[in-house]
A and B are shown apart, each in its own frame.
Chain A
Amino acid sequence: MWHRSASFILDKNQNDTVYPADSVTLTPPPPSSISTPQNPNPNLNRNMSMSAYYQTRAAHHGVVTSDWLAQSQEAATRAVATGGQEIVDGGKSGRAFSVIDEFNNWRKQPDLAEAVAAIRALAAVIRNSEAKTMMELEIELKKASDSLKSWDTTSISLTAGCDLFMRYVTRTSALEYEDFNSARSRLIERAEKFGEISYKARKIIAMLSQDFIFDGCTILVHGFSRVVMEVLKMAAQNKKLFRVLCTEGRPDRSGLRLANELAKLDVPVKLLIDSAVAYTMDEVDMVFVGADGVVESGGIINMMGTYQIALVAHSMNKPVYVAAESYKFARLYPLDQKDMGPALRPIDFGVPIPSKVEVETSARDYTPPQYLTLLFTDLGVLTPSVVSDELIQLYL
């Protein structure tokens, strides 16, 4: 699948201003003292009312909810407490390597997606492995990816990224004929390459989608997606004239942040409340959304509200474009909205809610493929049905 990644588009017009890639690729940041191998994700276990995935996002995006603040404080004290345990545990063979540490270190970089952090961490597993046989290495890798996946079961891209990494790295026929060391170096090479591709993905997508943004268009954006941001940023840099309508993105107000960022780029932005989508749809030329995950049907799982926006856009014949990196392609096939593990997120209504009233706290919904026009991925611009083809090709 990645053999024909559209990364050539980057090679053609190299634009190094945004990401100095070298500084990030090979040297992991120094390991931090906060590492808890016993309980890798304390927040996850203690408070099930909020999906870990959205916690990470909140941390990255700087959207601070009161809940989150309290939790992170708790987590910090807890982490210090468990920090001592780690030394006892790790003292066996000097410094034991832990994927979660590695993952957490990578994760600190604000622009690095969770899945890419996981991919990097898994590459580090191969590098630091002391395995003597291929089988051993594979088992080790499997364990590492399982522990990463269990770190946050609600994150689709993390799970998908780990799965895809395993597929891409270990499924190479070249391994059969080589001795272990060269095979291992080959694996490392592939892992690095995969990390590199994943890392560049956002840039590639931005390049690919430039053709679709024309002068004078109005783009409706829902939620804060770093890919969509990158797309719009590049369009602005290319001196395209366009207008962006941002939904508010309740409950975490991610739309506000996007509007903020776009205003910095001098892009005309208008904020809408989430319920004003149908009202404004007639002046919209295209809808741009990101995705938490792209599923086998070609549909996407994204922040709550995407489905209804897609429905409105579909009924008004407006194109819906999805920007998603290919490491978000997941092996899921939701049959309906409730067919996925729920990712919950507390909602702050501002007023006390009586205890008898139930609150729907799901953070995301599933948009079926028939409402999507195109998906911009680092593999190219795909129709939803091609996504299933790609997934089938990769996994079978």
Chain B
Amino acid sequence: MDARRVSQVVPKVRQVGFVTHSDPNPPPQASRAQSVPIESNSGTPSDSPDFSPVMIPPPRHHSENLSHLRSAAVAVPESSSRRPMWDDRVAVVGSYNPGNSLLGQPVSPNSSEVNSEASTTLGWFGRNSSGKFSAGSSFPGGGFDLTTVKMENFTQLEGKKPEAVPERGGGAAVEVHNEVSSSTAKAKTTKAERRAMQEAQRAAKAATKGKGGGGGVEVNNRESSSNTLKAKTTKAERRETQEAQRAAKAAGKAQGNKPVAAAGGAGPGNILRQPSQNRDDPAVGSTIAGSDRRGGDRPPERERKKDVPPPRMQFDDQGRVNKSKKRAVFNQPEAKNRVELFRHLPQYEHGSQLTDLESKFLELDSMHPAVYKVGVQYLAGDVTGGNARCIAMLRAFQEVINDYSTPPGKTLVRDLTAKISSYVSFLIECRPLSMSMGNAIRFQKSRIAKLPLTLSETEAKAALCNDIDRFINEKIILADKVIVRHAATKVRDGDVLLTYGSSCVVEMILLYAHELGKQFRVVVVDSRPKHEGQALLRRLLAKGLSCTYTHINAVSYIMHEVTRVFLGASSVLSNGTTYSRVGTACVAMVAHAFRVPVLICCEAYKFHERVQLDSICSNELGMLVLVLVR
């Protein structure tokens, strides 16, 4: 009945496949159904007094920013009374944490302000989210899969066997991310929908916590969003949905923690689908596309989701930070002068952790000594560089696996994965992971998960150690060899090669080209605070290369005589951008201005499917002291 009316009022055939609300204004009947008068836009961004001007610029995360602005504007009085832990400031900033927004709270439906809010925002966000969903649902795995395929391709270029599995995944993390946030973006809707969303978010949370049922997250979110898309339902229907969800929840709870996520995904999804499809406007494309897909290739998707890493932690999200602090092995003093622009990044005072960690050595009985050692090395800066850190970590894991024995009553696959996860979070505390390490960890976990159940424990351990060895050999050492051989063909006699900082693969290239007897000169460009180039310079001079050393201030001065620029990279992202030591972009841009070819040397295992538009959204912060003190 209701659905019919919707289709009458919106008779256009526009919603085939991709749902794009072309009109930015919400359909008027959305509020009429709620029997709430349309009010003026009470929750505009200007209403929020607390919004600091220095943030990630709003246009980039349009929907997100607006959404928490709105939720903050309305939410403050209620939520602050109910959840004293979060002050309103946090509510402003918590962009990804679903529980943080109003949605977690069952707000009484007769709050007219809220509803008008919904009506005003709905059309806008509806369009926004449907755009997202059409990307997510009608192309299963959308653009991300493309990039992953390409990445595998590149892997082969390096002359190695492509490990298809570990490199899959990842992209979907962004997807989940987006969808979670988009459902938060919708802020407020009818009660049933809020319920549904709450459910979804709970499931999402659970899924991010343990990797149990990743597949469920997406389904649930999509379900709720398609609900929101429809804008309103009758009371009876709302009741029905609520009922179904409650049932599903109960069923999920009965199965314990991890299954909750799975059941939360599959259970309500299945129960809900029947009614929702029946009354659905057939034109609502995303629901149909979504459900079609769900019916079609369910298992592969679940497979894909399993490898997805949890969304990156946002450090301006107080709730999460507190939670992670509780789990932390040692306490990290937060930086006193936190820069607003970097609030979402971990900002810790460096210096005291090492002693703190060392003093706790004996208390950390759960920590394997090899992992502890690697962690201390990271913290002290003894092991730096993507490859070195990655190899050190993998070697430590090898020792862990060698010393591992399955506790009684547990399975190796589950327990070892959990153990490795805890070690990884320890390593993250010591220093944020590099992309290469992230990829290696993903590989490692997928190898563990894919172990055949028939293997005995010793066999499994041997297989895993073997896998790690192969990873190091094929993805790092052999890849370097291939890169070196390939890059050396681009060095001609009489060249002047410029390099920045100290990249081990670039160093290998220079030495190899020198061994080949090519006549060339090297310009080592260096920068404060680390002066890594000095060590490189010494090593090159020791091998008899002719070198010039300069600081990055002089790069434009030196560039005119340079014929090639060789740079290392921490990661190459899927849009072709490079993530590397600070200053690299500067060198590359100067080189470009001088029309000097820039060659990035990067092993394929460091490729990452993320897309990053600037260096602020995700980065690792250095030490304040080093920048200030000479």
List residues of chain A with CB under 8 Å of any chain B CB: 335-336, 338-339, 392-393, 395-396
B153 touches A338 (CB 8 A): no
A395 touches B490 (CB 8 A): no
Which residues of B575-630 have CB atoms within 8 Å of chain A's CB atoms? 597, 599
Chain A residue with Cβ nearest B152: A396
List B contacts of A335 (CB < 8 A): 490, 564, 597, 599
Chain A: minimal CB distance from B51 (Å): 41
B490 touches A392 (CB 8 A): no
B153 touches A396 (CB 8 A): yes
Chain A residue with Cβ nearest B158: A396
B490 touches A339 (CB 8 A): yes
List B contacts of A393 (CB < 8 A): 153
Question: B157: which of A336, A338, A396 is its contact (CB, 8 Å)?
Answer: A396
CA distance A396 to B152 in the complex (A): 8
Given contacts A335-B564, A339-B490, contact A395 B157 (CB under 8 A): yes
List A contacts of B490 (CB < 8 A): 335, 339
CA distance A144 to B492 in the complex (A): 30
- In the assembled complex, 18 residue pairs joining A and B whose CB atoms fall closer than 8 Å, in A order, are A335-B490, A335-B564, A335-B597, A335-B599, A336-B597, A338-B492, A339-B490, A339-B492, A392-B150, A392-B153, A392-B154, A393-B153, A395-B157, A396-B152, A396-B153, A396-B154, A396-B156, A396-B157
Which residues of B478-512 have CB atoms within 8 Å of chain A's CB atoms? 490, 492
Which 8 pairs from chain A and chain B are nearest by CB? A396-B153, A335-B597, A396-B156, A396-B157, A392-B153, A335-B490, A396-B154, A336-B597
* Chain B 426-456 interface 0/1 with A at a Cβ cutoff of 8 Å (1 = within): 0000000000000000000000000000000
CA distance A336 to B495 in the complex (A): 13
Chain B: minimal CB distance from A67 (Å): 29
CA distance A393 to B152 in the complex (A): 11
CA distance A202 to B164 in the complex (A): 38
Which residues of B150-189 have CB atoms within 8 Å of chain A's CB atoms? 150, 152-154, 156-157
Number of A-B contacts (CB under 8 A): 18
List A contacts of B152 (CB < 8 A): 396
List A contacts of B150 (CB < 8 A): 392
Chain A: minimal CB distance from B148 (Å): 13
Chain B residue with Cβ nearest A396: B153
CA distance A210 to B154 in the complex (A): 36
Chain B: minimal CB distance from A396 (Å): 3
Chain B: minimal CB distance from A299 (Å): 13
CA distance A388 to B154 in the complex (A): 13
List A contacts of B492 (CB < 8 A): 338-339
CA distance A392 to B597 in the complex (A): 21
Chain A residue with Cβ nearest B162: A396
List A contacts of B154 (CB < 8 A): 392, 396
List A contacts of B597 (CB < 8 A): 335-336
Chain A: minimal CB distance from B601 (Å): 14
List B contacts of A396 (CB < 8 A): 152-154, 156-157
Chain A residue with Cβ nearest B595: A336
Chain B: minimal CB distance from A336 (Å): 7
Chain B: minimal CB distance from A366 (Å): 12
List A contacts of B564 (CB < 8 A): 335
CA distance A47 to B150 in the complex (A): 44
Chain A: minimal CB distance from B518 (Å): 14
Chain B residue with Cβ nearest A392: B153
Chain A: minimal CB distance from B179 (Å): 29
Chain B: minimal CB distance from A45 (Å): 24
CA distance A101 to B150 in the complex (A): 40
A335-B490, A335-B564, A396-B154 given. 14 additional CB < 8 A pairs? A335-B597, A335-B599, A336-B597, A338-B492, A339-B490, A339-B492, A392-B150, A392-B153, A392-B154, A395-B157, A396-B152, A396-B153, A396-B156, A396-B157
* Chain B 355-373 interface 0/1 with A at a Cβ cutoff of 8 Å (1 = within): 0000000000000000000
Which residues of B114-160 have CB atoms within 8 Å of chain A's CB atoms? 150, 152-154, 156-157
List B contacts of A395 (CB < 8 A): 157
List B contacts of A338 (CB < 8 A): 492
Chain B: minimal CB distance from A209 (Å): 29
CA distance A203 to B597 in the complex (A): 37
CA distance A392 to B157 in the complex (A): 9
List B contacts of A392 (CB < 8 A): 150, 153-154
Chain B residue with Cβ nearest A395: B157
CA distance A396 to B158 in the complex (A): 9
Chain B residue with Cβ nearest A333: B490
CA distance A395 to B150 in the complex (A): 11
CA distance A71 to B492 in the complex (A): 32
Chain B: minimal CB distance from A329 (Å): 16
Chain A residue with Cβ nearest B564: A335
Chain B residue with Cβ nearest A393: B153
List A contacts of B157 (CB < 8 A): 395-396
For A336, A338, A393, A396, the residue with the greatest tally of chain B CB atoms inside 10 Å of its CB is A396
